[in-house]
Structure 1
Amino acid sequence: MSEKITFPRVSFTGWGSLSHLADQVNSFKVNKILIITDPFLHKIGLTNEVVAPLIEAGYSPEIYTDIVPEPPLSVGEKLVSYTREKRFDMVIGIGGGSALDLTKLVGVLAGNEGKVEEYLNLTGTKKITKKGLPKILIPTTAGTGSEVTNISVLSLETTKDVVNHDYLLPDVAIVDPALTVSLPAKVTAATGVDALTHAVEAYVSKNASPVSDALALQAMRLISQSIRTAVVNGEDRQARTDMSYGSYLAGLAFFNAGVAGVHALAYPLGGQFHIAHGDANAVLLPYVMGYIRKSCEKRMKDIYEAMGFSSTNLSQVEASLKCVAELERLVKDVNIPQTLRSFNIPEEALEELTNDAIKQKRLLDRSPMPLDKEDIYKIYNMAW
């Protein structure tokens, strides 16, 4: 059976890789550049590291900061309209998943007609036909993997949906761990467990392949053995480097194999209660993996080993159980709450969360264990 494996056109990775930015921009022969970034990153001066080499190269980029975490559809609509109106010919995203997702979205839809909502996966009726503008993505977190995927996630009233097409893949991804050093411990933890979730779900996905497996396993090795240090000591260069590479590899793994149940259940937490995506994945990860464990015991034994533990004298059942326990311990060690109740989610909300999660068919179809409405409610209840 043949497999389609997709990667961005070009990536620069490693400490100091931002130095390639100006040359890459020059290669596209553009004039009007829009930089999309988080207002906090702009406030602390991190965007200056991107803007300075561009100004030195003769460009006058405009900076757009009117974005929010877990961006609602309205933010996307506004940014697409702005980009079309101002006739930019390149977009550069710097920040976490929200900034990068919006950059991909506007880069493509600036060259296509209609509203963003008309391109949504669950309800949209329009098809993307044009590539749009050149896109350069520069993550400042080690977590979302957005810089290597073809998806843009948007928050709706009670859940989330995506716009996805291969045209959303960036033309250039620059993954420089130096840009993650100023990341607060709380965000380091949430985005780091998000990346780990990408790798874990990609590895147990029904769409996994030998290529995605290799990417996912190495991502798990790097993340599980560096996340605690990165959270406690953000200045640790090796930990930050390992987390950035781990996040990048996890992004490639889940882009090619897909994520499943954890993400399907996490989306409504963000939509209904505005819980950050990383936190939503982290709180659910041990519960979902514990629930589906019997469908992927051999693979969970592999995950346990990738996290640095020996399973030599363990059966698959024993190793899979220890894997769930270790995932739970990791979430606890990086100080992410371990129950939905800790996020002030009332028990009576579980049914509505279930109603929204079951709609995420694109994600649930990849789960090694089929999850119906009753299963999803049980998982939410255990997590509560």
Structure 2
Amino acid sequence: MAPHSFALTMPSDIRFGAGRRAEAVDVTARIAGGGTVLLVTGSSDRHAGPLRQGLEDAGVTVVTARAVGEPTVEAITDVVRTARGARARVVLGVGGGSVLDTAKAAAALVDNGDPLDHLEVVGKGRALQNPVLPWIAVPTTAGTGSEVTRNAVLTAGRVKVSLRSPHLLARVAIVDPDLLQGLPRTPLVHGALDALVQLVEPLISCRANPVTDALARQGLAASLKALPGADTTQAETRENLALASLLGGICLANSGLGAVHGLAGVAGGMLGAPHGALCAAFLPAVLEADLKALRRDPNPQAQQRLDALGPLVTGDPTATATEAIQALTTLTRTLRIPRLADLGLTDGHVDELVQGALAASSTQANPLPLTETEMRDAVLASR
């Protein structure tokens, strides 16, 4: 095996544990230093409301921006306009992955111009030239790991693209598992499955490293312990779900993902279907495609990583990748994850989906490059 060479990037201040959301007020007020805070949240004030009140009680001026639905270029532009008008100096994001992506994108763009100057694929992809506003992440769902990643996923037309920079890392990430209590089961499960895939793909990624391996193994154990029950009335389950999401975010930011996310990202823009459901629908067939690619182009290291999934997923030390795929297929069926046809995929989508996934940045970290035929077979098998 070649000598390891890798770099790690993540927020320098990560706070995890039940009740730690209360720290967001003091942290935000300290960083704001008397300046205005832009609070980015969703349609509900359930969790953001008490933090806003705490900041106002501390004498901090707070301006609120709502992020409803997937963040689009147009929506980000509106939030940035709000931030500039208020002369915000700190951004506090309280919500799910879309809210956090909106918060970090707004923090990046307040002093850096048009989103299209910096977006990948649909824009000019330019590096950010000016400083990014400090932002604080308080996730209220478990799945995306956006609180510890360095990119914001935005929708431009029918395409999901990233605003990417190491400067997008949160100044502080506060992960309180108790915020998961009371989440509706369907989005909770979809988020948990997104986190699961964000642990599996870094484990088999061609960019994996020893640190992300250790974190992904810990996160995968937590994820599988929480699923399929996902009962958030139990403190242990909440902690496992939140931990899996956090560790998955760190892993994907440092080892990349794979063809599952390459397909899910393109399909999400095409179909508007839940990202976690798409990831789960693609996962078994893409892993099968990886095994076929290994038969075509043997790679001992990739084979070893895929086979390592067997014991990790099944608990059987003799299991291989084939048994892992069978177990993951059973899990998705137990959780009643719809197939792609049920999510709106038709024959007319397949060519565009395959071509988009082959070009996607996530796909480049797949353990082996997949051919167009192998990618197409994976899509058809997922239908």
Judge same fold: TM > 0.5, yes or no.
yes
Aligned to 2:226: 226
Query: Per the alignment, in what secondary structure is the counterpart of residue 63 of structure 1?
Result: strand
Structure 2 equivalent of residue 17 of structure 1: 20
3-state SS of the aligned residue for 1:307? helix
| Alpha-carbon distance between aligned partners in 1 of 2:51 and 2:281, rounded to the nearest angstrom | 34
SS of match in other structure, 2:92 = strand
Identical-pair percentage: 28
Q: Which runs of 5+ in 1 are unaligned?
A: none
Number of the residue aligned with 1:379: 378
Q: After TM superposition, which residue ranges in structure 1, 4 or more long, deviate above 4 angstroms?
A: none
Say how many residue pairs are matched. 370
For 1:136 and 1:335, the matched residues in 2 are separated by 35
Q: Which residue of 1 aligns with 2:308?
A: 302
User: d(CA) in 2 for partners of 1:74 and 1:372?
Assistant: 35
Aligned partner letter, 1:272 = M
CA distance, structure 1, for counterparts of residue 290 and residue 211 of structure 2: 23
Q: Secondary structure at 2:228's aligned position in 1?
A: helix
- Aligned alpha-carbon RMSD (Å): 1.6
Q: Which amino acid aligns with 1:25?
A: T
The two structures have a TM-score, normalised by structure 1, of: 0.92
Give yes or no for contact 1:158–1:356 (8 Å, CA) kept in 2: no
Distance 1:127 1:7 in 2: 19
Query: Which stretch shows the higher mean deviation, 25-34 or 194-203?
Result: 25-34
How far apart are 1:371 and its partner, in Å?
Answer: 1.8
Aligned to 1:326: 327
Report the CA distance between 1:308 and its aligned residue.
4.8
Q: Is the 8 A contact 1:70 1:270 kept in 2?
A: no
Which residues in structure 2 correspond to 1:72-151 (within 5 Å)? 72-112=72-112, 114-122=113-121, 123-151=123-151
1:282 is the counterpart of 2:280 = yes
* 3-state SS, counterpart of residue 228 of structure 1: coil
Give the secondary-structure state (helix, strand or coil) at the position aligned to 1:365.
Answer: helix
Paired amino acid for 1:237 = A
In structure 2, how many angstroms separate the alpha carbons of the residues matched to 1:155 and 1:128? 19
Shift of 1:302: 2.4
Task: Please state whether the residue corresponding to 1:249 is helix, strand or coil.
Answer: helix
Q: Tell me, in whole angstroms, the C-alpha distance in 2 between the residues paired with 1:81 and 1:291.
A: 45
Deviations 1:192-240 (A, max 9, x none): 000011111111111100001001111100001112222xx22111101
Q: CA deviation at 1:125?
A: 4.5
Taking structure 2 as the reference length, the TM-score comes to 0.92
Q: 1:228 and 1:27, CA in 2 relative to 1: closer, same or farther beyond 3 A?
A: same
Evaluate the alpha carbon distance shift between residue 86 and residue 58 of structure 1 in structure 2; reply closer, same or farther with a 3 A threshold.
Answer: closer
| Contact 1:104–1:168 (CA under 8 A) maintained in structure 2 | yes
Q: CA deviation at 1:322?
A: 0.7
Residues 199, 251 of structure 2: 8 Å contact kept: yes
- The equivalent residue for 1:37 is 41
What is the distance in 1 between the residues matched to 2:376 and 2:119?
26
Q: Deviations over 1:29-76 (max 9, x none)?
A: 14211111111x32xx222232232233222322211x2332222112
